[in-house]
Amino acid sequence: MSAVIQSTGLTRHFGSVEAVNDVDLTVEEGSIFGFLGPNGSGKSTVIRMLCGLLAPTAGAATVLGHDVASQGERVKESIGYMSQQFSLYSDLTVMQNLTFYARIYGIPRRERKDRIEDVIGIVGIGDYRKRMASQLSGGWKQRLALACALVHQPKLMFLDEPTAGIDPVARRELWNLIFKLSGRGVTFFVTTHYMDEAERCSHVGYIYFSKLIVCGTPNQLKALPEIVPENTTRLEVRCTRLPQAMQTLSDLACIRDVTIFADSLHVLADEGNEGVIDRALREGGFGEPMVNQIPPTLEDVFVTLTRKHARENGKSAVV
């Protein structure tokens, strides 16, 4: 496998503001790379640099073998890009939007029809050819946007928060499309806020305060020593009155961290303290507690790393 995106020391300043700081990134061919980070952490700036829209202040990046600073136009020809807001022409029909993008990417007239039908087939928008883009629902709009970005058969797709604001069914269908295309050899670079989407990616990177904090496969990240430090264990605790139980547990000396997760508590505790926890909860009247060991989630990974990073940089973690 070869790298389709490779950046070293990628940095961008806006005046005195450091938007992206020294980012080293490698995205392998065929992977689905999930790029995570809070708003304003530099995600969009990284994407804009990788797409050849913005020149780096320092460092360099190659995308599909082209240098983003000097060969921005070559990069643009070979990638597909789908932005977070719906950015197609709402007063054009589905077919007209597709034809427009096919022409702009210079697809010869002879091939145009086949290419358009091809992407229509992939995203399954065939029933809406003559429909105005403004009359499509959110999920269909995203499919159309994906089709437009695919029409020139890019090897690499950038999706900037593709599922923001669409319903759960459409969200799942869009991910199924991503997997389908990934199966055809398309590499994806996806930004998202959703942890469950991050879990679907083959690789994830987490950017925080303009710095790339971590990068790797989800399993690699979960196995990082700072996520489950030596002599500690991650536990799932089921009991009643979770908010109060959380308070009770965080007062215990052996508890490093505790958060509510759906109908249970996720606890990072010193090893061998299951009994202590069980007792404390019974005494506090939190029903019949159940304590189980669990692997960390990506959310655990990012929360832990963010706090650690903030501690080391003297900033308070905003999570």
Residues within the interface to other proteins (CB under 8 A): 51-55, 73, 76-77, 79, 81, 83, 85-90, 101, 104-106
From the CB of 68, what's the least distance to other proteins, in Å?
Answer: 12
Question: Which C-beta is closer to other proteins: that of 148 or that of 255?
Answer: 148
Of residues 90 and 244, the one with the C-beta less far from other proteins? 90
Q: Which is nearer to other proteins, 153 or 259 (CB)?
A: 153
- Nearest residue (CB) to other proteins, 77 versus 257: 77
Q: What minimum distance in Å lies between the beta carbon of 15 and other proteins?
A: 14
Closer CB to other proteins, 80 or 205, in the complex: 80
Specify the residue, 187 or 304, whose C-beta has the smaller distance to other proteins: 187
**28: which strand partners?**
3
> Shortest distance, CB of residue 101 to other proteins, whole angstroms?
7
What is the smallest separation between the CB atom of 82 and other proteins, expressed in angstroms? 8
Q: Measure the CA–CA gap between 195 and 191, rounded to whole angstroms.
A: 11
Instruction: Give the nearest distance from C-beta 122 to other proteins in angstroms.
Output: 19
The string of DSSP codes covering the chain is --EEEEEEEEEEEETTEEEEEEEEEEEETT-EEEEE--TTSSHHHHHHHHTTSS--SEEEEEETTEETTT-HHHHHHHEEEE-SS--S-TTSBHHHHHHHHHHHTT--HHHHHHHHHHHHHHHT-GGGTTSBGGGS-HHHHHHHHHHHHHTT--SEEEEESTTTT--HHHHHHHHHHHHHHHHTT-EEEEE-S-HHHHHHSSEEEEEETTEEEEEE-HHHHHT-TTTS-TTEEEEEEE-SSHHHHHHHHHTSTTEEEEEEETTEEEEEEETT-HHHHHHHHHHTT--S-EEEE-PPPHHHHHHHHHHHHHHHTT-----
Least distance between other proteins and beta carbon 96 (Å):
13
Question: Residue 211, Cβ neighbours under 10 Å: how many?
Answer: 17
Q: Supply the minimum distance, in Å, between the C-beta of residue 88 and other proteins.
A: 7
Nearer to other proteins, 50 or 215 (CB): 50
